[in-house]
Amino acid sequence: MGSVESYFGNLCGKEKKQEEERYVRANDRPSNLSYHYANNAIRTSKYNIFTFLPLNLFEQFRRLANAYFLFLLILQLIPQISSLSWFTTALPLILVLSMTAVKDANDDINRHKSDRQVNNRMVNVLIDGELRNEKWMNVQVGDIVKLESNQFVTADLLLLSSSEPLNLVYVETAELDGETNLKVKQALTLTGEMGDSIETLSAFKGEVRCEPPNNRLDKFKGTLTVNGQNYGLDNDKILLRGCTLRNTEWCFGLVIFGGPDTKLMQNSGKTKFKRTSIDHLMNVLVLCIFGFLFTLCFILAIGNAIWEVKEGSVFTVFLPREPGVNAALSSFLSFWSYVIVLNAVVPISLYVSVEVIRLGNSFFINWDRKMYYAKNDTPAQARTTTLNEELGQIKYIFSDKTGTLTQNIMTFNKCSINGKNYGELYDFSGQRIEITEKTQKVDFSWNKLADPKFDFHDYSLVETVREGDPEAHAFFRLLALCHTVMPEEKKEGELNYQAQSPDEGALVTAARNFGFVFRSRTPETITIMEMGKKVTYELLAVLDFNNVRKRMSVIVRNPEGKMTLYCKGADTIIYERLDRSCKKLMKVTTGHLNEYAGDGLRTLVLAYKHLEENYMEEWTQRHHEASTALEGREERLDQLYEEIEKDMILLGATAVEDKLQDGVPQTIEQLAKADIKIWVLTGDKQETAENIGYSCNMLREEMKEVFIVAANTPEGVKQELQYARRKMCPGAAEEPSVTKTRAGLFWTKKTETVQDEKVEGDYALIINGHSLAFALEKDLELELLRTACMCQTVICCRVTPLQKAQVVELVKKYKQAITLAIGDGANDVSMIKAAHIGVGISGQEGMQAVLSSDFSFAQFRYLQRLLLVHGRWSYLRMCKFLQYFFYKNFTFTFVHFWYAFFCGFSAQTVYDEWFITLYNLVYTSLPILSLGLFDQDVNDRWSFEYPQLYSPGQLNMYFSKKAFVRCMMHSCYCSLVLFFIPWGAMHDTVRDDGRDLADYQSFALLAQTCLLVVVSVQLCIDTYSWTTVNQFFVWGSLAAYFAITFTMYSNGMFLIFTSIFPFIGTARNSLNQPNVWLTIFLTSLLCVLPVVALHFILIQIRPTINDKVRYKTQMEAPPAPAPRRPVRRVSTRRSGYAFSHSQGYGALVTSERFLFKRPLKSLLAFSIQTDPPQPKLFRPIPEEREGSQSSQN
């Protein structure tokens, strides 16, 4: 609907003024409505009940083919030039327009339903001093709305207040970025003091000035003005539509952007109309066919003029010309008559059949039970029916990481404690056992506070802990104390951890299950349950993480008064700070770390140190002085941290798995064998993305080199890219080899193609977001493309949604290859829409990417089946369909051309009119549809066994301009045989009883019967896989032809409709003659024999990969699925999980104002508190906080 309104708006000259700044007044609807901001209703539909018919017909007749057939229909209504009845074109045209209109209407009805479902969601809105339950679509900019836990965020809101301490709210951003870990947002202290007081919120008259609507998910700039004071607004104070409120009882927000102006919808952008490369090629070919058709008609018109002058005058005695008609006019009219007669070269049934085949292959994807994810009840879905064959031509895949390759779930997998490795299982022979879902899990029923979702399989670790091993206890005590996790316990024993990163949550949960349960914290204490006993530690200091330190420490005092420093961090950092006595243990632990890294796990080393009372008092004093210093504070603190974090004792190491989706490494391996290049475009940090690269086997230790581009200047980026390129290909020219060509309809589109360069060995490229921004600029983009395309693997880190789309567009522009983008969040939408094919991962991560995608399924591993099976089959079927379709129609048309030389170029048809009408609609439609729907060269198992079968599609080998020319030559040969053999056989021939057989109607019947038999035999030769449906359609179509022919040529039809069925008795008089059947056999043999001979010779001399595999399928049984065995890999590279921390979180969790809930009865007290003149970031906690805290505990 929105697109229709904008269409008519543009038509009337109305153009929406570009918004430069947004001005919003809280609780003032009249003022905000004066700016004509969009309300919160969304509209993705295209039509309404009034505009559907005119707009849909307008869109359909914009297609060249439909307009052409409408033109033909008009020509056929002119008696002077029409040699065919109007219904031969009208019926197929009406059928095509109706089918397309029904499909478009159905799609738009679904869009209307989806819009209504979203727009009719309910939310509490503050109107006229009271909360009213309103539909989303009625929410206006400037309204204050109340959200409750687990509700979707209605619009883009400025957070005003919340039920949580410090005005914090927790949101899940799965719809936006695919990440299920919670994000923290925080309101201004000024607005947070309003709490949930309806009276105070109704009286709020704040004014917001901010940026206009845009698609930047990670940035927001604005100011809030209250009582003349300005307060800065950033992204941390904004709740975006599409997020879900979690673990927060309630919050209030001011609507800044609504409906189409929200960042979620802005990222959705306009849906691009995608067309396959075969569609583009068909447009060019159809244009060429038009040219060829008019050339033939011009030749025949000249022939008509010559014949009229030389021979036509003889016939005027008994066939006088109409008044005013001379040879020139007769020639002109015959030109248009032949345009009608020969129009079968571009039959309208071609487009109908293409749509039916695409629709059928889409249903096969939807119905594929091997792509159904039972856990979430999610089947695969072809959301568009026009791109199936493009799935068989993919060269580049662009993938998101979080939620696409990974599950965004961290699991405690293995650990090394005091030199002993835990977490692996071995059989009696010492062989490693692969852990699967069926493997027996450790029973944690002895621990009442254990997390039931936690899985572990090595019983020996539980036994070690329960036996009281001091090192194991120290190990898990460290995990329970050294972190920044916040606990939430709504019911006794039901613990919920709010972790800043999922890694930390996994480690604290592991400690919880092994008997060291983190229960609560205050700014000064941490309380844990140690093997069922409650122990409270005094928290003396938190030595926070940063990217340079790559470690975190806490200093605690136990109830006995003993002080200990617990530290965890990257192994290289911790090893430098260990005591000399740990050398032997360090060597053993390093071996375990190498094994963990080889398995793609994220490793972390743990150490501790006992501290003396005197030293600690003196260090604490110096720490206080450094933390309050005005100058050099960070440097002084770092020196103190370095001083105390040394001579530590090694405890062991942890291994956390950033859990990949099932089958990801195997899928990537299969796609690589199919010569498909995979680029990962992620917003994650470099270390995280690199680690996943190794886990997925995209990065391997045996690679010659992994290049990292991380420069901060354009010149630096250029040097790093050139260094990588020169090292990979020393002999390559400095300037790229760019081939310039023209393409598209009328050859108006200029294309530039950067040629591939051969590289010895495997390389990988990792590039950061800030470096990518420089590399995507005009003067560096070709350097980036050359270098990246030389690499086996490309990983782009810290990229924005816009950069993802730019990378895809760069490859599309200069490689002329088919691209596929796959993602799961709103930040992937621009990439999904930019690629030729967009795939959305559906499931727990959100649906925004799915709504914008062309295909969707629940797991990344289904991508290999989508491409290697459905995509390849669809491409093969479509190409065979097109080759055969053009063959049968050119053959049909060329026979008319040869006949013109024997009928005085009079535009008389060689076939019966009813045969012309039914040839494409009935006689040849079903057999060719069965070919396009059911044919397959090899089954799915062989397709997986030989991924190389996919490569012909990438090279466009099955249907191209060359293949089309070969098809025309084949048709030309067959048409010569089909015309001249029957003509020679019928010439001066008599029946068995001596009567004449050589009349026009008998020749027409023989010619059309020969044609139908030949094209049916050719179809049988082209069919690889025979099914019951194929057999039924082929034999059924031939039977239908003879049944219809005998019926139409019967006496009864002639008596009822004399003028419509003039071929009375022709069938029974001709087809009972042996020489007619002999002619049919001879014609078929001469047409088919050269094709069979050529196929045989090519298979013997130059067999394709398909020929080889098909031969193998005949000799061998189908391959069984290969069993997966665990492979032990050892790696010297390390990935510290600490990289996923953010600096500053330690200070937040130890804030005296962070851990206490506001008493519900004292809400108004906050709104009347007096503040210092400077703006504050945090709300003060009342003095009675200690009592409230103790009551909570």
- Structure tokens of 812? 């599309």
CB 932 within 8 A of CB 880: yes
Spatial distance between the Cα atoms of 686 and 766, rounded to a whole number of angstroms: 8
Phi/psi at 151 (5° precision) = -85, 150
CB 636 within 8 A of CB 629: yes
CB 458 within 8 A of CB 423: yes
The H-or-E segment that residue 106 falls in is helix 87-119
Spatial distance between the Cα atoms of 700 and 170, rounded to a whole number of angstroms: 38
Assess whether 658 carries a catalytic annotation: no
Q: Is 916 helix (H, G, I), strand (E, B) or coil?
A: helix
- Structure tokens of 844? 């727990």
Cα–Cα distances in Å, from 137 out to 42, 43, 118, 1141?
A: 8, 10, 8, 39
| Amino acid letter for position 255 | V
The H-or-E segment that residue 382 falls in is strand 381-382
Number of H helices and E strands in the chain, helices first, is: 44, 37
- DSSP calls for 757-786: ---SS-EEEEE-HHHHHHHTSTTTHHHHHH
Computed on alpha carbons and rounded to an integer, the radius of gyration of the chain in Å comes to 38
Spatial distance between the Cα atoms of 70 and 63, rounded to a whole number of angstroms: 11
Residue the block writes with tokens 């570009």: 18
CA angle 434, 439, 445 (to 5 degrees): 135
Spatial distance between the Cα atoms of 809 and 807, rounded to a whole number of angstroms: 5
Spatial distance between the Cα atoms of 771 and 791, rounded to a whole number of angstroms: 17
Catalytic option among 115, 143, 156, 400 = 400
Which of 706, 704, 700 lies closest to 720 in space, CA to CA?
706
Phi/psi at 201 (5° precision) = -65, -35
- Structure tokens of 513? 């299950």
CB 1047 within 8 A of CB 1025: no
- DSSP calls for 952-969: HHHTT-SSSHHHHHHHHH
CB 519 within 8 A of CB 532: no
Which of 581, 578, 649, 607 lies closest to 478 in space, CA to CA?
607
Per-residue b or e along 1042-1075, where b marks 16 or more CB atoms closer than 10 Å to that residue's CB:
eebbeebbbeebbeeeeeebebbebbebbbebeb
Cα–Cα distances in Å, from 25 out to 38, 212, 225, 668, 1175?
A: 15, 15, 10, 52, 21
Spatial distance between the Cα atoms of 356 and 358, rounded to a whole number of angstroms: 5
Spatial distance between the Cα atoms of 697 and 703, rounded to a whole number of angstroms: 11
For residue 886, what are the contacts with CB-CB under 8 A and spacing of at least 6? 964, 967, 968, 971
- DSSP calls for 592-651: HHHHHHHTTPEEEEEEEEEE-HHHHHHHHHHHHHHHT-SSSHHHHHHHHHHHHS-SBEEE
Spatial distance between the Cα atoms of 852 and 829, rounded to a whole number of angstroms: 6
Q: Which residues are catalytic?
A: 400
